[in-house]
Every structure is written in C-alpha cells, then in structure tokens.
Structure 1
Amino acid sequence: MGNIYLIRHGQASFGADDYDVLSPVGVRQSQALGEHLAQLGLCLDHCVAGTLRRQQDTARLALEAMHANGCQVPPIETDPAFDEFDADGVIRALLPGLLPEEPEALHVLRNGAQNRSEFQRLFALMVQRWYDGEHEEEDGLETWQAFTARVEAGLGRVLQRASSGDDIAIFTSGGTIAALLHLVTRITPSQAFALNWQIINTSLSQLKFRGRDVTLASFNSQAHVRLLKVPELVTYR
C-alpha cells in the first residue's frame, strides 16, 4: 500500500495585514517537520502543495530540512485543489445574518488577534452555517459541495499519478484536511470540522491507499514539535 501524508501549513500571520505569510514560529515548525521526517528515514516519491504562499513555503522549508539531513526530495508540484476554502468570503457572506444575535461580532472579527477564543467561536458558527448552506449562492462564495468536489478531484489526480507503495506528501490547510476526512471516512461535515479545530500547524495525518481505495491510518500527529519540548511550537492558528 502507498501512503499520503496530509500536512497542515505552518503558523501563518494571524492578525497581520497579510495572513498568508508564515510567522517565525511557522518557519521553525516547518523546519522541525522536515528534520523529523528525515530522522524517520522517509523518502518521498511526490510532494504536492496548494497555491497559497503559506502552503508552498511550508513545503519548501520542510523539504530543504529533509535534504540537509541526507534525504533525496522530489520537486514541489502545485495543485490549487488543495487550497483552503475562502474564509474571508465565508465571513463576508455569513456575518450580516449573524449580527442580529451577535452584535459584537464585527468588533471581535476586526480584532481577532486580541480576541482569539471569541473569534474562533464566531468563525466556527459561520463555518457551520456555510457547510449547512445557509447563505445565498449568488454571492459568489464557493459552496461546501463545490469545495469538497474540488478537493476530491485533487485527490483523484494524486492517486492517478501514484504507483503502488509511493510515499506522497500533500501540504495543505485545515479545512482541506477536514474535507478529505469527510470524503475518506464519510463522517459528517460537522464531525469533520470538530476534528479540524484540533489540527495543529504542520501536523501529519496519514492516508493509506491501494489503487483508488483510500483509508485513514492516523490523524494529527504532533511528535515533531512535542519532542522538542517547546510549547510555543504547538499552535492552532
């Protein structure tokens, strides 16, 4: 059987003008991941990343660390199927309907870095309404159904190119991993996102595949940062 390693990107710049940039913590997480994979003796046959800068940079830094520790590494292939869903679009589309019952929501969302727990509560509520379809389709927002279809097509392309026994890394985002869990295990979107909120930056989830048959082998492995005993490297956003 072959293996697909789903890797969430390193910590991005939450609260900054450009979220899609790895923080210094995100850089170290990515390097620690590559060092750990090299220590495990993992030799990747393929590496795929979404188009987002945080995904690409996580892949580049991890592979550089693997190479520096004696591993041969493949080039990074890019597939937009593994991009995150449009979180900003979800907020824009769902916030107006939320304000009557959550009048402080706009202030919290504008100051998320100072209100992290409340930001997460409100964002999770809007994501729930998004995957439940509680928004107007004409607002241009990618639906949950379209998002999962995009991710499924990307997984299909990976499997089509793969050979039996390949080890493949996919550098992606938490929502994309949630969609893959939904597709592979048939859990509900609600269950998938309950797991999504637990995924730490640069964690590994492992899928096993034989042909087009895919099963979940492990979820949210954190050994590469836990073993360093540096608590600030364990981040969720």
Structure 2
Amino acid sequence: MSELILVRHGQANRHATDEAGYDRLSRLGAQQAEWLGAHFAQTNPHFDHVITGTLHRQTGTATNMGYTITERDDRLNELSYFAIAKSAETLHGIPAPVDANEYARYLPQVMGHWARGELADVPETFEQFTTRITGLVDEARHLPGRKLIVTSGGVIGLVMRHTLGLDIPSMSKVMLQVMNSSLHRMDHAHDTLMLGTFNATPHLDLPDRAHARTFI
C-alpha cells in the first residue's frame, strides 16, 4: 500500500480580479502552511516525494511547510477560474457571486456548463482538465513511498470525482468545502485508489486558530 497526501495551498490573495493577482499567498496563507508543516513534524514528517504545481501559491505553501520540492508539475495547476467565470457570464448571463451563499449556487451551474462544453475562450476544456489531473494521480500512486502533493481546490475536487465516481453537482459541492491548507489522504491498495481522509485541518483545530479556517 502507498499513501498520497494532497494539500490545498494556503489562503491566497482573495481580493484579486485575475489569475496573476490571485497567485500569491496572503500572510495568513503562509502561516497556515507553517502550522501544517509543524503538525507533520510532530506526527509523520517524512515524504519520499514532494510534488507541487508551478503556481506561486502552491510552491510557497510547500516551502512554508518546511519541505524541499522534489518535482514541479504544471498538471497540478488550478483550473482557470477567472476565464471560466467570464465565459459563463458572457454566454449564459451568470454574474460572478458576491457572497458565499451565491457562490454555493453559482459553482455547480458554471461547472455544469464547462463540463458540457458550453463555454468558449477558456484555456482548456473540462475533458483536458480531467485528463491532466487523473494522469498525474495515476502516475503518482505508482511511485514508491509516501507522497506529498500540494495543489489547489479545483484539482482536489477532480481527484475526489476520479476516486469516488462523483457527478458534476457532487464534485462542485466537494470543491466548495475544500479549505485552505487542508489535507486529504489517499491510499493506493490492491491497485485501487481509496479515500482515507477528506478536508482535515488538525493544525487549525485549536480555539485560537478558528480565524484561520478559510475557504478563499
């Protein structure tokens, strides 16, 4: 049996209006990563492979956790949220959400349009996104030893879809729940990928860290 630990990056620049502006850790995001690294140091710190995407918020999370990155792979980069949102508004009249309640209704709609091929002028199709993520996970699960994979919320949602056979609405609900710096354990046993832990934040469970439990 081998183990994959997926980690969502720490909080990024939540006030950004484009991909480039979003791609940096906030001060809190760096702190979340440091706390998670300390948790691993006190429990099971060793990883044979530390794999991240190429985005700054992903690599920065790994380094703030105290790990040396062994591989950067752009297949772990996040879906192009701002381009997808712009296309959904232009083609389907779906405005960007202004609060969490709106976002909970918004994301399943937009993911549905993307999955059905009903968006234009986006960097990749949903099928291409799926192929790159599942390809990397299927490669990583066959690597020897214990793997740490630092990525983003949309990627983790797709991994859950791949592992559990989720439909698009269910995948969207999973994506909505993935917290900043959360960890997700996958076990590869008997040639099957199985979910062991979803959305755990043991490093944020102390009462004085309640403010650090963030989604965006």
For normalisation by structure 2, the TM-score amounts to 0.90
How far the C-alpha of 1:228 sits from its partner, in A, is 5.5
In 1, Cα distance between the equivalents of 2:200 and 2:172? 17
In 1, Cα distance between the equivalents of 2:106 and 2:26? 21
In the alignment, residue 49 of structure 1 is paired with which amino acid? T
Q: Percent identity?
A: 26
How far the C-alpha of 1:122 sits from its partner, in A, is 6.4
In the alignment, residue 5 of structure 2 is paired with which amino acid? Y
- CA 1:214–1:95 in structure 2 vs 1: closer, same or farther (change >3 Å)? same
Q: Deviations over 1:150-191 (max 9, x none)?
A: 10111133234x11xx21110000110011111111111221
Aligned to 1:117: 100
Aligned to 1:205: 184
Structure 2 residue aligned with 1:179, among 158, 161, 177? 158
| Corresponding position: 1:147 with 2:125 | no
- CA 1:211–1:79 in structure 2 vs 1: closer, same or farther (change >3 Å)? farther
Answer with 1 or 2: which has the greater Rg. Answer: 1
Aligned to 2:13: 13
Aligned to 1:60: 63
For normalisation by structure 1, the TM-score amounts to 0.82
Q: State whether residues 44 and 169 of structure 1, in contact with CA within 8 Å, keep that contact through their aligned partners in structure 2.
A: yes
| Corresponding position: 1:30 with 2:13 | no
SS in 2 for 1:7: strand
SS in 2 for 1:229: helix
In 2, Cα distance between the equivalents of 1:9 and 1:157? 21
How far the C-alpha of 1:117 sits from its partner, in A, is 2.5
Q: How many residues align?
A: 212
SS in 2 for 1:6: strand
Structure 2 residue aligned with 1:232, among 202, 208, 211? 211
Structure 2 spans left out of the alignment, 5+ residues? none
In 2, Cα distance between the equivalents of 1:61 and 1:23? 12
Aligned to 1:133: 117
Aligned to 2:54: 51
Q: State whether residues 3 and 141 of structure 2, in contact with CA within 8 Å, keep that contact through their aligned partners in structure 1.
A: no
- CA 1:123–1:55 in structure 2 vs 1: closer, same or farther (change >3 Å)? farther
Q: State whether residues 177 and 196 of structure 1, in contact with CA within 8 Å, keep that contact through their aligned partners in structure 2.
A: yes
